[in-house]
Each structure stands twice: as C-alpha cells, then as structure tokens.
C-alpha cells in the first residue's frame, strides 16, 4: 500500500495560537481554568485539557466570579464579552486573528449603514459570535436556495462576509449567485475563508486527482464538529474517492481498504500531528506500507500569543 501524506495538513496558525495560549495558562495558573466553548474543535485536544483541570462551558453562569476565562479560537459575541466583564472574570482572548478580522468588518459595514449577507453554517461557534455583533443587520445563508429568499432592493447597501472554514468551491458558487441577484453587493477581494482552509482543500483536490475512484481511500483526521475537516472529507467524496473522517486510529476499519493501492492521509486545521502519526503507524502494523510526503504549498503564518498571557512562550 502506498500512503500519501498531504502537506500542508493539521494545525493552522490560529489553532496553534489557541492551544499554546491555553497550555501556558494551565502551566501558570493551574486548575480550575474555564474556556467558553471548546478551545478548538478536536475531541482529543479537548480531552487532554480536561485531564489538566480545564473546564469547557457553554454558559458564563457556570463560572465563579473572578475566575480565569479563555475565549476559544472561534470568537464570541459582544454580549459575552460584556457579561464576562460584569462578572469580573480574568479574560484571555484566544480568538483567531482571522476570525477577529471578520468581526471588525461586520462593525465597519454596520457603521456605514450596510446590511450584511453572511455565508455560514447555523449553530457553529464562529457563526454565533459573528451574528452576535449585529443580529438585526445580518442575514445568514447556508445554501443557494436561501440566497433566492433574500429580499433586498436594487438600492440596498449590501456586503457579503463568510465563515472562515467553508468549502471554497461551494462558496464561490453562492457568491456568483449573490452577484447576479444583487450586482451592487460588496465582497472582499480576498474573501474571509482562511488561508489554511483554502490550502488544505487545494491539497486534497490535487492529490485526489491522482487516485482511483471507487477503490483508493482518503483518511481525514479530524473531529465531526470540525467544519474544515468535514469539508475535506466531502471534497474527496465528490471526486469519487472513499473518504472517512476519523478522530484517530481506533476509528479505522480494515474493510475500507479492500482493493486499495493508495491511501491519502490529511488532517483538518484543528487536528494534532501526533494523531496523524498514530494513524500512519496503525496502517504500518496492518499493511506493507510505503510512505510518500506530498508537499503542495508551504505555510509560514504565525500569530503572537495574547498580550495579557502571563509567562507567554510559544510551544514547539
């Protein structure tokens, strides 16, 4: 069996920043430490922090006054920030800078009198935080039929923003439809889909082009609630490749590989590299494996840790 290791894969700069920040807080404060939502969408990462006394909450009512609170990489609404301040919580903000940029764009457009069409998945932590910036000014759409239901006039001031972890191809189709319906709509030249999401999707597109539909397999390391991981799995499946989203080697089934000559392994932006390696070792223990690393593009993005982080240092 030939195994293609996709590169880039795994942690993006925003996820690395959030994980490093929470690691520093654990080392410097000790439990209990509270995080609003999961720090990143990965089951293994969350469980490891739970084992070190970190408590993940969905309501600030579950946090005692004066406690240490970290906002996850997905960001929060202004209402949550105000509530945290009212409860005198010691807040460390691990919001990904690329998500924070979208929050800033919402505030700018609203200040200029625009209505915002926001492309995203309902219920996702990032989406909840963005809509919380100005719910009365934002229309959430997640598919093309919802674009048809928008009722703006030709004179409406409209801007389009989007979740950072969407499918690039599907989003482009929605943008084209929006531009046809509302020629006056303003869309960021660079878009809001983050570099890591785009790079991982581009890598899967290129590498699956060389696989055999119906027999070869793609393994995407990532959790089910990870939007960017799910998009990678769906992308491979649309190309006829048997693709599986897995949290780790315990999810791998031997019968997936009947007649398989090549397996592609990639990982979503919130999946640790050690899980990728453990999946690779699992395959080696069951098959005669040849490993090929396939670099499609390089990534050099780094974000500094939050300014108010005590004893901050970057973990290698």
Q: Which residues are catalytic?
A: 126
CA-to-CA distance for 303 and 93, rounded, in angstroms?
13
CA atoms within 13 A on the CB side of 282: 17
Helix axes 13-29, 43-50, angle to 10 degrees: 10
Tell me the pairing of strands 33-36 and 54-57: parallel
Closest CA to 1 of 244, 253, 216, 205: 216
């Amino acid at each position: 069996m030939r195994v293609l290791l996709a590169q880039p894969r795994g942690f993006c700069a925003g996820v690395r920043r959030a994980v490093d920040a929470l690691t520093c807080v654990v080392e410097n404060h000790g439990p209990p430490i509270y995080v609003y939502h999961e720090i990143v969408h990965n089951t293994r990462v969350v469980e490891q922090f739970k084992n070190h006394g970190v408590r993940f909450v969905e309501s600030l009512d579950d946090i005692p006054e004066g406690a240490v609170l970290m906002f996850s990489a997905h960001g929060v609404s202004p209402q949550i920030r105000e509530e945290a301040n009212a409860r005198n919580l010691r807040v460390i903000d691990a919001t990904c800078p690329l998500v924070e940029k979208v929050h800033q764009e919402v505030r700018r457009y609203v200040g200029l009198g625009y209505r915002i069409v926001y492309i995203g998945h309902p219920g996702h932590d990032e989406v909840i935080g963005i809509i919380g910036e100005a719910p009365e000014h934002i229309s959430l759409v997640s598919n093309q039929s919802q674009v048809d239901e928008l009722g703006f006039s030709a004179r409406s001031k409209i801007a389009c923003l989007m979740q950072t972890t969407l499918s690039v191809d599907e989003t482009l189709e929605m943008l084209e439809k929006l531009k046809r319906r509302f020629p006056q709509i303003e869309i960021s030249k660079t878009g809001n889909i983050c570099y890591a999401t785009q790079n991982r999707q581009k890598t899967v597109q290129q590498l699956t082009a060389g696989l055999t539909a119906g027999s070869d397999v793609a393994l995407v390391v990532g959790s089910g609630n990870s939007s960017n991981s799910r998009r990678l799995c769906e992308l491979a499946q649309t190309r006829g490749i048997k693709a599986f989203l897995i949290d780790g080697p315990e999810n791998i089934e031997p019968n997936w590989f009947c007649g398989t000559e090549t397996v592609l392994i990639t990982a979503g932006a919130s999946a640790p590299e050690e899980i990728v390696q453990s999946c690779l070792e699992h395959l080696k223990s069951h098959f005669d494996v040849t490993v090929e690393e396939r670099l499609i593009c390089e990534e050099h993005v780094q974000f500094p840790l939050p300014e108010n982080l005590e004893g901050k240092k970057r973990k290698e």
